[in-house]
């Protein structure tokens, strides 16, 4: 009887994932909540979840729980936006601006951009409706003066600055490290406080080498994979590797 019961639970969860109730990367209810919802034992629910993991429908991370599989992959091979990569892979991207303000630059922002006043935009990026990244972007006040909240919700800073003719972008340096989700980030990303996240800082420069955009991206670790192509050369040592002290 238990054998039949776990299959019914697996079938129902598979249907719910396919219907989009649990978007890719979206956390499922906890095992305790599923046990209650299906009026089944923890052993039976776990067997159903493991069966779906074997099929590639679900996956799990220690300390996070179960989620719909197929994390979003981002290539680090060229300068581009999250949204363009998501759209190219068939995922529907969405921006939600959480904060838009001209403000005094922090010590870190001042050190990178060399200005005292900046436009700071904090936003939530979604992928197929599910929270995907918390992003904060800083640009010098002189470059952001002509931008509105609607502008930065509709288009990327890359497109806005180049279309306005105020900056021709030449490249960026991106630093990626592991961190734990703060209370604020956990709230907007819909993950538990302290969950593993990937923190990415990107400094974008003009063709003349002047830093014009500083961005911080925080991704839920279970939702994101970064992909780097390594060409066959004499040395394959990762030149960008740096130990954190």
Give, for all 245 residues of the chain, the pLDDT tens digit: 455 888 899 889 888 887 777 766 677 888 899 999 999 999 999 999 988 887 778 888 776 788 887 666 666 666 667 777 767 667 778 899 999 999 999 999 999 999 999 999 999 998 877 788 999 999 999 999 989 999 999 888 988 888 877 778 888 898 999 899 999 999 999 888 888 889 999 999 998 899 999 999 999 887 777 777 776 665 555 556 555 55
pLDDT at residue 235 in the model = 53
Residue 34: what are its φ and ψ, rounded to 5°? -65, -40
Residue 27 DSSP label: B
Tokens of 181: 């989700």
Strands 117-127 and 72-75 turn out to be unpaired
Distance between CA atoms of 73 and 24, rounded to whole angstroms?
A: 12
CB 201 within 8 A of CB 211: no
| 44-to-29, 77, 81, 237 alpha-carbon distances in Å | 15, 44, 43, 47
pLDDT at residue 233 in the model = 61
Residue where the block lists tokens 């954190």: 244
User: Of the candidates 39, 36, 34, which has an alpha carbon nearest to the alpha carbon of residue 52?
Assistant: 34
pLDDT at residue 222 in the model = 74
Enclosing H/E stretch for 179: strand 169-180
Domains (ranges, CATH) in the chain?
A: 2-68 (1.10.10.10), 72-227 (3.40.1410.10)
């Amino acid at each position: 009887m238990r054998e039949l019961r776990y299959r019914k639970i697996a079938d129902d969860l598979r249907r719910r994932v396919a219907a989009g109730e649990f978007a890719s990367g979206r956390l499922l209810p906890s095992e305790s909540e599923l046990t209650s919802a299906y009026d089944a034992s923890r052993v039976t629910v776990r067997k159903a979840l493991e069966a779906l993991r074997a099929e590639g429908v679900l996956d799990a991370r220690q300390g996070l729980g179960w989620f719909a599989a197929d994390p979003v992959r981002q290539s680090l091979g060229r300068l581009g936006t999250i949204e363009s990569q998501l759209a190219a892979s068939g995922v529907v991207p969405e921006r939600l601006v959480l904060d838009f303000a001209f403000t005094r630059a922090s010590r870190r922002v001042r050190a990178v951009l060399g200005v005292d006043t900046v436009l700071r935009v904090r936003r939530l990026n979604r992928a197929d409706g599910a929270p995907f990244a918390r992003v904060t972007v800083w640009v010098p006040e002189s470059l952001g003066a002509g931008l509105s909240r609607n502008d930065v919700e509709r288009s990327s800073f890359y497109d806005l600055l180049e279309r306005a003719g105020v900056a021709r972008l030449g490249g960026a340096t991106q630093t990626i490290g592991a961190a734990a989700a703060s209370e604020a980030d956990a709230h907007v990303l819909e993950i538990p406080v302290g969950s593993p996240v990937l923190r990415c800082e990107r400094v974008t420069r003009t063709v003349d080498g002047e830093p014009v955009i500083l961005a911080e991206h925080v991704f839920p670790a279970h939702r994101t994979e970064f992909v780097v192509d390594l060409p066959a050369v004499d040395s394959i040592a990762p030149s960008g590797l740096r130990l954190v002290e």
